Structure 1
Amino acid sequence: MQFNSRYPTLNPKLYHQQDPSPLHGAKAGHFNQALAEQLNWSEQDQAAWVEICSGQKTFAEFPPLAMVYAGHQFGQWAGQLGDGRGLLIAQILDKNNQTIDLHLKGAGLTPYSRMGDGRAVLRSTIREYLAGHALNSLGIPASNAVGFTSSDQGVQREKLERGAMLLRTSDCHIRLGHFEWINQYQADLLPEFTQKCIEWHYPECLSAEQPILAFATRVIQRTAVMISHWQLVGFAHGVMNTDNLNITGSTLDFGPFGFMERFRPHWINNHSDHQGRYAYQNQPSMGHWNLWQWLNNLVPLCPEGYDKEQWKQDLAACLEHFEPTFLEHYKFGLAEKMGLPSFHKDSFDCAMAFLRILQSEQLDYTQSFIRLQNQDYTALLDDCLDRRQFESFLSQYHSIREHQDIEALNQRMTEVNPHYILRNHMAQKAIELAEGNDFSEVERLFKLLSTPFSQQPELERAEDLAPLPSDQPELVVSCSS
C-alpha cells in the first residue's frame, strides 16, 4: 500500500488514537479482491486480508484513530457523537492516485461510544458489504469494502448475534457533523479544518474569489447529485442525519437502508423512523435541510473586511444550487431510464405518468423499467387494473419517441436500468446462511450485483426479480446493527 496519512496531521482534539480490539475467533467472511487490487494492495497485503479486516494487523504508517463529530439526528441536535465502533486505520493512494480511507467498523469501544458496545454484528455487516458493492456497481458514489470477517464472539442486540468486522473504504469520512462539532466545541479549529477540507477534496476552489463559498456550493451540488442517483434507482438511505452525510457526496453509513420494490413514494424502510422523516420521497428535502444546518457552521468564517450580513446572504445563496442541480440530474436520468429524449418538453410529464401507474398499480419499480426497456408492453398492461391509464400513457410515450433516434435511446436504457438490485429478502437469505458459516449466498449476490445491467441467467433466481408475495410480511429493518 502507498500511504497518504493526512487526517493525523490535524489538531489531535479532532480524534483519539487507539488500536482496534479484535474479536475472538475471527474467520473469513468475504474478500473483494478487485477492490484490493484497485487500492494497490500487494500480494502480501491480500494474503493477510483476514488479519487486516479483523483488527489483528495495523500499520506503523498510520496509527488508528477514532474521529469525533456531532450531528442532528431525526431533526434534533444530538450533541457530540463520533466513531463509536469504528477506526480509521489507514489513508492510501489507489491506482488513480486518489486518497482512500480504510475504516474498520466493529473495532471496539472508543471514547465516543456513548451507550454502545463498540461492536458490529454479522447481519448488519453483510448488509453494508453488499449495499456498498451494489451502489458502486450501479455507478453511484458510495463507500465500499475490501472485506469482512465473522467471529465466534457473541454480541448482544435484541438477541445474541455473531460479532463481525468490516473494512470500509471511502473517498472521505469527513461528515457535515464534523463542522457542527468544531463550531460547537472547538471553534478556533474551524478555519484550518475548512482549509484542509478544501485542499484535500476541492482544490479547484482554492483559486476562486471566495474559496469557502465555492467549497460550499460544490458540496451542495455533489450532495444533490448523489440524492438524484438514489431516487433514480429507488434507494432509500433510511437515516439521513447530518453525521451520516459526508462532504464529497458519496453514500456513507449503511444502516436501515433499502432498495424500493413496489413503487411507494412514501415508503419508509427504516422501522425506527416512526414519523417517516426519511421516507423515500423526502430524501431531497432532507438533504436540503441538512445542508442548511451545515451552512450555519460556516458563518464564523466570514473573511476579514466582508460585511457579515452579506456573508450570511452569500452562504444562503449557495443553497439555491441544490434544487436545480437535483432536478437537472433527476429529470435527465429519468428520461434515460424511460428511453425518452431529455430535451423534449413532454418527456418529464410522460415519465411522471409512468410512475403514477407504478404507484397506483403497486408494480415493481426495477422490473417495470426493464419491461419498458424490452418493449414488453403487454406484460405491463396485463398487470394494470386501470388499462385505460396505461394505454393513455403508452400513446403519449410512442408520440414523444416518434422521429427520434430510437436505437440510441434504447441502447441508453440498457445502460441505466439495472436488472438486479439488493432486495431486502435477498440480503436476508445470505445472512441466514452466513450465520451458519455458509457464505455461498454472499458470494452469489456479490457476483450478481457486480454487473447489474446485464442479465445473468446462470446466477439469478426468481426471487431476485420480484418483491415478496403480498401475503408475506415485509422484512423489518431498523437502526439496530
Structure 2
Amino acid sequence: MQFNARYPSLNPKLYHEQMPVPLKGAKAGHFNEALADELQWSAEDKASWVEICSGQKTFPEFHPLAMVYAGHQFGQWAGQLGDGRGLLIAQILDQNGQTIDLHLKGAGSTPYSRMGDGRAVLHSVIREYLAGHALNALDVPSSNSVGFTTSEQGVQREKLELGAMMLRTSDCHIRLGHFEWINQYQPSLLQEFTQKCIEWHYPECLEAEQPILAFATKVIQKTAVMIAKWQLVGFAHGVMNTDNLNITGSTLDFGPYGFMERFRPNWINNHSDYNGRYTYQNQPSMAHWNLWNWLNNLIPLAKPEEKEKFKQDLAQCLEHFEPTFLEHYTHGLCAKLGLPSFHKDSFDCGMAFLRILQTEQLDYTSSFLRLQNKEYEAMKDDCLDRRQFEAFLTQYEMIRENQDIGTLDATMFEANPIYILRNHMAQKAIELAERNDFSEVERLFSLLSQPFTRQTDLEKPEDLAPLPSDVPEVMVSCSS
C-alpha cells in the first residue's frame, strides 16, 4: 500500500486515536480482490486480509482514529456524534493516485459511542458489503469494501447475533456534520478545516475568485448528481441525516437502505423512519434541506462586514441543486426509456410511465427491461387500466418516430440493470452466512458485479422479481 496520511494532520480535537479491539475467533467472510488490486495491495497485504479486516493488524504509517462530528438526525439536532463503532485505520493511494480512506467498521467502542457497544453484526455488515459493491457496479458513487470477517463472538441487539467487521473504503469520510460539530464546539477550527477540505477534495476551487463559494457549489452539484443516480436505479438510502452525507457526493452509511421493487414512491424502507421522512420520493428535498443546513455553517467564514452579502452568495450556490438534479435525472430517465433527451415531450412521457408503474404496482427494474425488450402487449395485459398504458405507448412511439432507434435502444441496454440487490436476496445470503455458509454471498457478489449483463449460469428466478404479494417483505431498521 502507498500511504497518504492526511486526516491526522488536522487539529487533534477533531479525532481520537485508538487501536481497534478485535473480535474473538475472527474468520473470513468475503474478500473483494479486484478492489484490493485497485488499491495497490501487495501480495503480503492480500495474504493477511483477514487480520486487517478484523482489526488484528494495523499499520505503523497510520495511527487508527475515530472522527468526531455532529448532525441533524431525522430533522432534529442530535448534538455531538462521531465514529461510535468505526475507525479510520489508513489513507492510501489507489492506482489512479486518488486518496482512499480505509475505515474499519465494528472495531469497538470509542469516546463517541454514546452508550453503544462499538460493534457491528453480521447481517448489517453483509447488507452494506453487497450494497456498496452493487452501487459501484451501477455507476452510483458509493463507498465500497475490501472485505468482511465474522467471528464467534456474540453481540446483543434485539437478539444475540454474530459480531462482524468490515473494511469500508471511500474517497471521503468528511461529513456535512463535521462542519456542524466545529461550529458548535470548536469554531476557531472552521477556517483551517474548510481550507483543507478544499485542498484535498476540490483543489481546482483554489483558483476561483472566491474559493469557498466555488467549494460550496461543487459539493451541492455532486450531491445533486448522486441523488439523481439513486432515483434512477430505485435506491432509497433510508437514513439521510446530515452526518450520513459526505462532501464528495458519494453514498455513505446506508444501513437500512432498499432498492425499489414495486414502484411505491412513498415506500418507507427503513422501519425506524416512523414518519417517512426519508422515503424514496423525499430524497431530493431532504438532500436540499441538508445542504441548506450545511451552508449555514459556512457563514462564519465571512468577514463581519461581508456577512449579509456572503449569505446571499451561499443561497445562490444552493440554487444549483435543482437544475443539476433535473438535468441528470432527465437525461438518465430518457436513456432508460430509449427516448431522445432533447425532445420536448420525453420527460412527460417518462412521468406517464412511472405513473403506470405506481398505479399498477409494477416492478421498477423489470418494467424498464420489458419496455427495452418491446414486450408491449404483455405489459398491457398486466395493467388493470389498459387505456392508460395505450395512451403512454402512443406518445412513446410518436416521440421515437423518425429517431435513430438503434442508438436509442443501445442507450437502454446501458442504462437498465438486469439485477439489483433486492432485500430478499440479501436476506437469503445473511441466513446462510449465519450458518457459516458464504456461498450465497459469493453468488450475489459475482452476479452484481455485472448488473447489465444477463448471467443465466448465476441467476435465480427470485433475482428478477419481487416476492409474491402474499409474502411479507423483509423488514429493515437502523439496528445494526
> What is the TM-score with the length of structure 2 in the denominator?
0.99
Q: Distance in 1 between matches of 2:286 and 2:408?
A: 32
Please give the per-residue CA displacement for 1:421-480, whole angstroms capped at 9, x wherever unaligned: 000000000000000000000000000000000110110000001111000111110000
**Coordinate RMSD, CA, aligned:** 0.6
Unaligned stretches of 5+ residues in structure 2: none
Please state if 1:247 is matched with 2:247: yes
The aligned runs of 1:224-235 (5 Å cut-off) are 224-235=224-235
- Match of residue 400 from structure 1: 399
Deviation at 1:308, TM superposition (A): 1.4
- Match of residue 121 from structure 1: 121
Please state if 1:208 is matched with 2:208: yes
SS at match of 1:88: strand
Q: Distance in 1 between matches of 2:116 and 2:378?
A: 50
Q: Distance in 2 between matches of 1:330 and 1:411?
A: 18
SS at match of 2:103: strand
Q: Distance in 1 between matches of 2:142 and 2:378?
A: 34
- Match of residue 83 from structure 2: 83
- Match of residue 479 from structure 1: 478
Query: What amino acid is the match of 2:54?
Result: S
Please give the per-residue CA displacement for 1:216-236, whole angstroms capped at 9, x wherever unaligned: 000000000000000000000
SS at match of 1:116: coil
Please state if 1:108 is matched with 2:129: no
Q: Distance in 2 between matches of 1:256 and 1:142?
A: 15
Query: What amino acid is the match of 1:438?
Result: D
Please give the per-residue CA displacement for 1:253-282, whole angstroms capped at 9, x wherever unaligned: 021000010000111100000100000000
Please give the per-residue CA displacement for 1:166-225, whole angstroms capped at 9, x wherever unaligned: 000000000000000000000000000000000000000001011000000000000000
Deviation at 1:334, TM superposition (A): 0.2
How many residue pairs get matched?
480
Deviation at 1:303, TM superposition (A): 4.3
SS at match of 1:307: helix
- Match of residue 56 from structure 2: 56
Q: Distance in 1 between matches of 2:378 and 2:46?
A: 47
- Match of residue 434 from structure 1: 433
- Match of residue 21 from structure 1: 21
Q: Distance in 2 between matches of 1:412 and 1:62?
A: 44
Q: Distance in 1 between matches of 2:176 and 2:359?
A: 37
- Match of residue 368 from structure 1: 367
Please give the per-residue CA displacement for 1:96-124, whole angstroms capped at 9, x wherever unaligned: 00000000000001000002100000000
Please state if 1:453 is matched with 2:452: yes
SS at match of 2:142: coil
Please give the per-residue CA displacement for 1:364-410, whole angstroms capped at 9, x wherever unaligned: 00000000111111221111111111011101100000011100010
Deviation at 1:317, TM superposition (A): 1.1
Please state if 1:425 is matched with 2:416: no
SS at match of 2:205: helix
Q: Distance in 2 between matches of 1:405 and 1:84?
A: 54
Query: What amino acid is the match of 1:415?
Result: E
Query: What amino acid is the match of 1:47?
Result: A
SS at match of 2:229: helix
- Match of residue 269 from structure 1: 269
Query: What amino acid is the match of 1:237?
Result: H
Please state if 1:259 is matched with 2:255: no
- Match of residue 95 from structure 1: 95
Q: Distance in 1 between matches of 2:161 and 2:419?
A: 29
Q: Distance in 1 between matches of 2:49 and 2:465?
A: 35
Q: Distance in 1 between matches of 2:64 and 2:310?
A: 38
- Match of residue 141 from structure 1: 141
- Match of residue 45 from structure 2: 45
Q: Distance in 2 between matches of 1:89 and 1:66?
A: 9
Q: Distance in 1 between matches of 2:342 and 2:236?
A: 28
The aligned runs of 1:135-214 (5 Å cut-off) are 135-214=135-214
Please give the per-residue CA displacement for 1:36-92, whole angstroms capped at 9, x wherever unaligned: 000000000000000000000000000000000000000000000000000000000
Please give the per-residue CA displacement for 1:121-163, whole angstroms capped at 9, x wherever unaligned: 0000000000000000000110000000000000000000000
Q: Distance in 2 between matches of 1:254 and 1:245?
A: 10
- Match of residue 9 from structure 2: 9
Query: What amino acid is the match of 1:441?
Result: E
Query: What amino acid is the match of 2:57?
Result: K
Deviation at 1:321, TM superposition (A): 0.5
Q: Distance in 1 between matches of 2:145 and 2:378?
A: 38
Q: Distance in 1 between matches of 2:455 and 2:28?
A: 27
Larger displacement relative to structure 2 (306-315 or 449-458):
306-315
Q: Distance in 2 between matches of 1:463 and 1:207?
A: 52
